[in-house]
Structure 1
Amino acid sequence: MSARPGVSTAVPEPSLPDPSSALGAVLLPIENVATRMNRPAARLLAVSKTRSTGEVAALADAGQQAFGENYVQEALPKIEALRGRGLEWHLIGHLQSNKADLAARHFDWVQSLDRAKLVTALARHRPAGAPPLNVLVQVNIDDETSKHGCLPGDVPALAKAIEAEPSLRLRGLMAIPAPHADMTRRRDAFRAMHALFEALQAGHAGIDTLSMGMSEDFVPAIEEGATMVRIGSALFGARPAKTEGPA
């Protein structure tokens, strides 16, 4: 049956949550865990991959300052459009060596450093006069073949290489544990990361960031020691459906 004239047959876009309400709904449990465990609240990183500049701006207007992006090329227009608003940009996706120059010039943090070649590339391309680039070593804590990240035993050598570069500042570790349905297994990975984090703190100054936990498991992650959580869908709503087109 054909549509009536003037009546759209397009599938409506999913409604976006109110930015202030969504932000408050995430910050409340973060603050509750901090109070219950008598320690500082974990930092909130809003994961804005696939989100429009307008969506990022709306969440920034609600008070969110730090945003995480997976792809350098997707992030650059947002960074440029929102320049001057005091936002902090984190690269959280796998970084190819040929994109290291752009990452070093435009991001404040790189959370996905996982190999020595990247240390050299980021240090070489960080602009003179810019503050040191904050970096986290990404650890493949569950040794998944499908995931990027170094193995736990590789962390000391990478940390040493980073600290030898004045244009880089080692801040800690990042992990994306396997998405086990059994939360006990996720907690095991979080605990293993926290132990690795404490070992890194014991040998290096300025280690203050353990980035782990996402929308579905950020409370357990904080309980097990996360100091930063990466939240996307709980802030922005369900991710838009992928459309066919060039990569």
Structure 2
Amino acid sequence: MNTENRATDKLLSRWRQVNAEIEEACKQSHRRIDDVQLLAVSKTKPVEMISALAERGQRDFGENYLQEALEKITQLRGKAEVEGIVWHYIGSIQRNKTRDIAEHFDWVQTLERDIIAKRLNDQRPDSMAALNVLIQLNIDDEDSKSGCTPEQLPELIASIKGYERLQLRGLMIIPAKADTDAFARTQQLFDEMQQAHPDLSSWDTLSMGMSADMTEAVAHGSTMVRVGSAIFGARD
């Protein structure tokens, strides 16, 4: 077996292990396995690794760095064996990035300001389906962390609901490691916003949990876990 094949086998083994851990977390929480999606965070990793996973059925991939992501999307576009990849932008969003994000991604998980929402809406091509968006919530109110505060959330939801080219799907958090009840508080906020906006039928996604804490996140209603190094190995 050559080096390339061994590397692919290791990649697939790690991916299957992560899927098994998600399945076990769902069993422990008495949830269906289909209730939780795996987002493979592929930043800094080559298209060959993405292709290998996509050919085995992994569909959702998350990218943090726009230029790197655009190169991967371009390289993989039109390849039948990886058809159906769903691209998630999970990096910070500056104003000068919104057009490329709006034109090339299926999901944005890091929306935190109305001005960015408006730009994404205005720049989303009419030929594409509405852009799925998650509001990044700064659940711990940390100065060093991106995201809107819980107090700002209702106003931001009301604004996004008015944008026809955006489909508001839910919330995303990156909690502080010391915050032991961040998942529970986020789940409560998610449910409260769902009750406050019964007309928002697309509100169905809670993106929280990574490889180290996915079991706890799934127990508190996560519908999408974001896993990078546990699948792809250490970052380059």
Q: 2:47 matched to which residue of 1?
A: 53
Q: How does 1:41-120 map onto structure 2 within 5 Å? A: 41=33, 42-84=36-78, 85-120=83-118
**Secondary structure of 2:71 counterpart:** helix
Offset of residue 64 of structure 1: 0.8
The structure with higher relative contact order (CA 8 Å, sep 6+) is: 2
Matches within 5 A, 1:223-242: 223-240=219-236
Residue in 2 that maps onto 1:23: 15
Q: Return the offset for 1:58.
A: 1.5
Q: Superposition RMSD on alpha carbons, in Å? A: 1.4
| Contiguous gaps of at least 5 residues in structure 2 | 1-6
Q: Aligned-pair distance for 1:17?
A: 6.2
Q: How many residues align?
A: 221
Q: Which residue identity does 2:124 align to in structure 1? A: R
Q: CA deviation at 1:215?
A: 1.6
Q: What TM-score, normalized by structure 2, do the two folds share? A: 0.90
Letter of the 1:45 counterpart: L
Larger radius of gyration: 1
How far is 1:38 from its partner? 2.5
Which whole-Å deviations, capped at 9, do the CAs of 1:206-236 have from their partners, x for residues lacking one? Answer: 2110001112111111112111000001100
Q: Structure 1: how far apart are the matches of 2:218 and 2:123? A: 34
Q: More deviation in 52-61 or 170-179?
A: 52-61
Residue 198 of structure 1 is matched in structure 2 by 191
Report the counterpart of residue 4 of structure 2 in structure 1: none
Partner amino acid for 2:167?
R
Distance across 2 between alignment mates of 1:224 and 1:37 = 9
Q: Percent identity?
A: 48
Letter in 2 for 1:214: M
| TM-score, length-scaled by structure 1 | 0.86
Q: Is the 8 A contact 1:101 1:125 kept in 2?
A: yes
- 3-state SS of 1:171 partner: strand
Partner-residue secondary structure (3-state), 2:155: helix
Q: 1:245: which partner in 2?
A: none
Return structure 1 stretches of 4+ with deviation > 3 angstroms.
Answer: none
Partner residue, 2:211: 215
Secondary structure at the aligned position of 1:18 is classed as helix
